[in-house]
Structure 1
Amino acid sequence: MIEKPHHLPRQLALLSATAADPFLTEDLLKGVLGHGGVDLAKVVEPLPEDDARWEVEPVRELVEDAMHEFRDDRTKADAWLAPRLHATLRLTRREAADRRIWNHLALAVAPDYVAWRHLSAPASDRREPRISRARFSGAPDRQCFSRLWWAAEMFRNGKDYSPVVTACANQDLIHSALKRALIDHRPTALALVRVLERGVASTGRDIEGLMTAVNAAGATLVYDVLAPDEPRDPEVLRQWVVEAESAPPVPRHSLPDGPDEEPVPEESVAALTDYFADLFETAPVRGR
């Protein structure tokens, strides 16, 4: 397994896909040898130095704690890390949509975590274990850290991250949901979590069948009408970002708090949960 970079940057920065490409070596993707970090530091674009959110140390400590805590079951690290990564970085959606920040986090700050979490198991056909390039520099639903941040953003209920933990415990839900625009409707996201908690859909095939049915129904049924949401106050998020300067480290044994936005109306979540559960009964699930 590769080691922590010898040269860690003090702050996060922007690393373009083109600049990242030479560092995605065969040895790195095989998980056998990382890089020192010095050469990579020469090709990044700096972020504003006066913003506490860009400090690397809090994120670095998080991933090291995750590797220690979940060394016996690495997939469980997602549900633990997602809300804490979100609450530590305190990004706006515009900032989080810039893939360059995630490229830098994965390659310059925590390539050892990416390898630890996503190195494939040895295959029966004797292919060598390998890490997908997309885990370092890829689409938001595949990149190691962006997928966790966006899952936390989409599945949190105001400041409550507990639905994120449930969502991130199911790899199929994260991967399928983050590819679909419907998940940006908060009652839809929380209703999907409730369906999981009910045990209505559990396997990968179940999730994909449910998501396909939900997506298709959404083309003819406006979920905003069936399950209205509270309007978001942008000032709440702005204040949360500003408070990053004085925020303590996120707790390890309890969930942090997110932006103090209005929670989703319970009646909206309940209505959609029942609707999705009924929808699943007729959803096309392979093998059922």
Structure 2
Amino acid sequence: MIEKPHHLPQRLGLLSAAAADPFLTEDLLKGIQGHGGVDLAKVVEPLPDEDPRWEVEPLRELVEDAMHEFRESRTRADGWLAPRLHAALRITRREAADRRLWTHFALAVTPDYVAWRHRSTPASGRSESRINPARFKGALDRQCFSRLWWAAEMFRNGKDYSPVVAACANQDLIHSALRRDLIDHRPTAQALVAVLGRGIATTGRDVEGLMTAINAAGATLVYDALAPDEPRDPEVLRQWVAEAGSAPPVPRHSLPDGPDEEPVPEKSVVALTDYFADLFETAPVRGRKPQD
């Protein structure tokens, strides 16, 4: 496995995919050897110096703790890291939508974590494992860290991150949900977690079939009418972001608190959970025999 970069930046910056390409070498993607970091720093667009949110050290410590804690079970690191990354990196959705931020984080700050978490088993006919370049610079639902931040943002219930942990336990749910706009409806996100909790839609095929059915039904059924949500106060998030510089380090042995927004109404979660459970009975699950 590759080592921690010799030259770590002190602050996060913006790194375009084109600027990152020369550093995504075959040795890096095979997990053999990383880069020194000095030359990479020359092509990074800096972020404002006065903003404490871009400090690298607490984020670097977080991923190192994840690698140590989950060295025997890499996929379980997602459920631990997602809420803590979200709480440690207090950014807006607009900022989180900028792929350049995540590319810099992955390639300049934590390439060893990306290699550790996303090294694949050797493909047929190959003798070595390989890392998909999308884990460094890919779409928001594929990139190593953006997928975790957005999973935490979409599945948290107000300040409660426990649904995020449950959602991240199912890799198929995260990948499928983040590709669909409908997950931005908070009761839908919480109902999906509740459906998993009932032991419904447990396999990858189940989840994809259910998400397809939910998406199709959403074209004719307005989920807001069936399961209304509380209005969200943008000032709560603005305040949470503004307090980043004075926030304590995120806890390692208990979940942090997210923005103190109103939780999703429980009646709405129950209504949608029951609806999704019924929907799953006729969902187009590949390989499942049609219901009589």
Asked if TM exceeds 0.5, the reply is yes
Q: Is 1:190 paired with 2:229?
A: no
Residues in 1 aligned to 2:175 and 2:287: alpha-carbon distance in whole angstroms: 21
Q: CA deviation at 1:9?
A: 0.4
Q: Is 1:218 paired with 2:218?
A: yes
Q: Is 1:7 paired with 2:18?
A: no
Q: CA deviation at 1:125?
A: 3.2
1:63 equivalent in structure 2: 63
Q: Is 1:74 paired with 2:71?
A: no
2:206 equivalent in structure 1: 206
Query: For 1:1-22, what per-residue CA distance to the aligned partner results, in whole angstroms no more than 9, with x for missing partners?
Result: 0000000000000001111111
Q: CA deviation at 1:121?
A: 1.5
Query: For 1:67-99, what per-residue CA distance to the aligned partner results, in whole angstroms no more than 9, with x for missing partners?
Result: 000000000000000000000001100000000
Secondary structure of 2:243's match? Answer: helix
Residues in 1 aligned to 2:5 and 2:18: alpha-carbon distance in whole angstroms: 20
Q: Is 1:156 paired with 2:172?
A: no
Q: CA deviation at 1:126?
A: 3.2
How do 1:141-180 and structure 2 match up within 5 A?
141-180=141-180
Residues in 2 aligned to 1:222 and 1:119: alpha-carbon distance in whole angstroms: 41
Query: For 1:28-50, what per-residue CA distance to the aligned partner results, in whole angstroms no more than 9, with x for missing partners?
Result: 11010100100000000000111
Query: Gaps (5+ residues) in structure 1?
Result: none
1:181 equivalent in structure 2: 181
2:254 equivalent in structure 1: 254
How do 1:240-279 and structure 2 match up within 5 A?
240-279=240-279
Secondary structure of 1:230's match? Answer: coil
Q: CA deviation at 1:176?
A: 0.3
Deviates more, 1:170-179 or 1:120-129: 120-129
Letter paired with 1:5: P
Residues in 1 aligned to 2:53 and 2:89: alpha-carbon distance in whole angstroms: 6
Mark the CA change 1:105 to 1:192 in structure 2 (over 3 Å): closer, same or farther: same
Query: For 1:124-182, what per-residue CA distance to the aligned partner results, in whole angstroms no more than 9, with x for missing partners?
Result: 53342000000000000000000000000000000000000000111000000000000
Q: Is 1:36 paired with 2:49?
A: no
Letter paired with 1:245: G
2:22 equivalent in structure 1: 22
Query: For 1:259-284, what per-residue CA distance to the aligned partner results, in whole angstroms no more than 9, with x for missing partners?
Result: 00010000001000000000000001
Secondary structure of 2:137's match? Answer: coil
Deviates more, 1:127-136 or 1:266-275: 127-136
Secondary structure of 1:235's match? Answer: helix
Q: Is 1:227 paired with 2:215?
A: no
2:54 equivalent in structure 1: 54
2:114 equivalent in structure 1: 114
Residues in 1 aligned to 2:127 and 2:236: alpha-carbon distance in whole angstroms: 50
Residues in 2 aligned to 1:201 and 1:254: alpha-carbon distance in whole angstroms: 28
Residues in 2 aligned to 1:158 and 1:265: alpha-carbon distance in whole angstroms: 11
Secondary structure of 1:143's match? Answer: coil
1:236 equivalent in structure 2: 236
- Determine what percentage of the aligned residue pairs are the same residue: 85
Residues in 2 aligned to 1:126 and 1:93: alpha-carbon distance in whole angstroms: 40
Query: For 1:206-232, what per-residue CA distance to the aligned partner results, in whole angstroms no more than 9, with x for missing partners?
Result: 000000000000011010110010111
Residues in 1 aligned to 2:201 and 2:78: alpha-carbon distance in whole angstroms: 20
Letter paired with 1:203: T
Structure 1 outlier segments of 4+, above 4 Å: none
Residues in 2 aligned to 1:68 and 1:28: alpha-carbon distance in whole angstroms: 21
Q: What's the TM-score, normalizing by structure 1?
A: 0.99
2:97 equivalent in structure 1: 97
Secondary structure of 1:167's match? Answer: helix
Q: CA deviation at 1:123?
A: 3.5
Deviates more, 1:24-33 or 1:117-126: 117-126
Residues in 2 aligned to 1:125 and 1:114: alpha-carbon distance in whole angstroms: 24
Aligned residues: 288
Query: Gaps (5+ residues) in structure 2?
Result: none
